[in-house]
A and B are shown apart, each in its own frame.
Chain A
């Protein structure tokens, strides 16, 4: 790998004086070379490869018979895909909204000189250290209709309490929302708490001297200054939502039927178990499109902000 890198680098012009060219001048490029090659091949190359496959009629193995946009047409005529995409909309929307609300609220509450703040913070955030598979396993047991929450409530005296969302095709998607919120909302809390701690103290003192209440200070001064944190959280949460795969695998396995499938599960099933590589690739490209639609504006504004500083 290193020799390759040296060769590819030799075409470039070195801005330093040639007389002082030494191994040290090449070292940075040589040590970066493996990462550069691997990134170009395994990220960008593979992306293009998948894009190419999405225009072919590949089934079990990749083939290169191009069929134009046929796979995309099939994809959007596929009921299972539409369900998965709709689910992503519901799941992503609710997951992001609830996480943001919970995260901001908890951060503000924790910011009120709370005793045992450290312990509470630790409790709110620990699910983030756990695998989605463990989370799914735990919630599958908690929400199961026979021995779970329902039975506990009935035993507590709520005779008519019914909770069978896991078995109900219309409600199962909300089980995913509950488990995902449980896992990720503490993270949003941590982000905002860090942001709150970074707000200029003088600004707040000034607001108080002007007679602003705590509530007004938060609403008019502190929260607006946390806009960047808000956008970061939004991007990270939508990213988690679009990539969600393990949670579905562990909690519902897409069921009942395929009512709780998400795009990532659709892609995996079609590519690896249903021998529909072309269709699977098309769905992967749509997922990439979703991520880019969120990421590009974000990175653009971040980089522009950096230049203005």
Chain B
């Protein structure tokens, strides 16, 4: 931005400076990449190679059996069916939770920015605090409530919890986005006889695509990666994949199979990594949305 090395003939000093700059950036990049590379390499070795080789020594031949085992036959504490059932559990939790919390967030944001009523700003402030409380203060009461509602240890229960504590963030996203829509637009539409939902459906939703994408990606990542709610509120057969992964890694019948651990970890990370790779721009926007005022 401020560097005008490009403009003028670069002197020797500038050249040295640029080389140093690139070196630092690449060294740091390798620090970030290394754990993933090691995980991948390890997952493709057999146990013997892991014992004799080092972290970065390449496997002599590729072994995919650890992947098969991680997926369908590794032991995760209570059962030995691999992490595939839990991988599916995660999807069963994430999909409805993301859809419901995004929809609620959109409507709340719409009301808070375009249909203000007495107390709506105050409520928004109260909701914001909800983004930041440490969830430890709600864990036990929520566990009791889920019990009373009869949805303890169920997928429904987990969806409920994720919606309740996700809606603060989704509302924040949509509210900030709708803040830039002129209120006159809504007033004019009302004079034309359009109702609350017509305006939302015809005027607001069509311009909301970017923020919907940001919100869906944010919620997907948050809920997929959740561990606290998963471990506190799930039953044996409704565990999300993060909980199963942790059980798998900490279960040790006989020898430790690091290749299986690593394969399972990569599998558990794949969905969010895929989202990041294909929609990184929106992911970053979600990350910075809460922090940079917009």
Binding site for B on A (CB under 8 A): 12, 15, 23-24, 27-29, 31-32, 34-36, 38-39, 42-47, 49-50, 53, 62, 102, 106, 109-114, 120, 122-135, 137-142, 147-149, 151-152, 155, 182, 186-187, 190-191, 194-197, 199, 201, 204, 207-208, 214, 217-218, 222, 228-229, 232-233, 236, 239, 242-243, 245-246, 249-250, 253, 263-264, 267-268, 271-272, 277, 280-281, 283-285, 287-288, 290-291, 295, 299, 302-303
Q: Which B residues are in CB contact (< 8 Å) with A36?
A: 123
Q: Given A36-B123, A38-B167, A147-B50, do A131 and B137 touch, yes or no (CB 8 Å)? A: no
Q: Shortest beta-carbon distance, A301 to chain B, in Å?
A: 12
The 7 closest A-B pairs by CB, nearest first: A131-B225, A27-B196, A129-B276, A28-B115, A246-B227, A46-B141, A232-B291
Besides the known contacts A129-B275, A132-B225, 4 further A-B residue pairs in the complex with CB atoms under 8 A apart: A50-B138, A228-B293, A268-B231, A299-B125
> Chain B: which residue is nearest A294 at the CB level?
B132
Q: Given A43-B130, A232-B292, do A138 and B249 touch, yes or no (CB 8 Å)? A: no
Instruction: Tell me the residues in window 247-294 of chain B with beta carbons closer than 8 Å to chain A beta carbons.
Output: 249-250, 258, 261-262, 264-266, 268-269, 272-273, 275-277, 280, 283-284, 287-288, 290-293
14 contacts between A and B (CB under 8 A): A23-B195, A32-B111, A32-B112, A35-B104, A42-B164, A43-B130, A47-B138, A114-B21, A130-B273, A195-B292, A204-B1, A233-B291, A284-B137, A302-B293
Q: Given A28-B111, A141-B39, do A299 and B128 touch, yes or no (CB 8 Å)? A: yes
> In the bound complex, do residue B21 and residue A109 qualify as a contact, i.e. CB atoms below 8 Å apart?
yes
Residue B236 at the A interface, CB < 8 A? no
Binding site for A on B (CB under 8 A): 1-6, 21-22, 24-25, 28-29, 31-36, 38-39, 42, 50-51, 54-56, 104, 107-108, 111-112, 115, 117-118, 120, 123, 125-130, 132-142, 144-145, 164-165, 167-168, 171, 190, 195-197, 221, 224-228, 231-232, 242, 245-246, 249-250, 258, 261-262, 264-266, 268-269, 272-273, 275-277, 280, 283-284, 287-288, 290-293
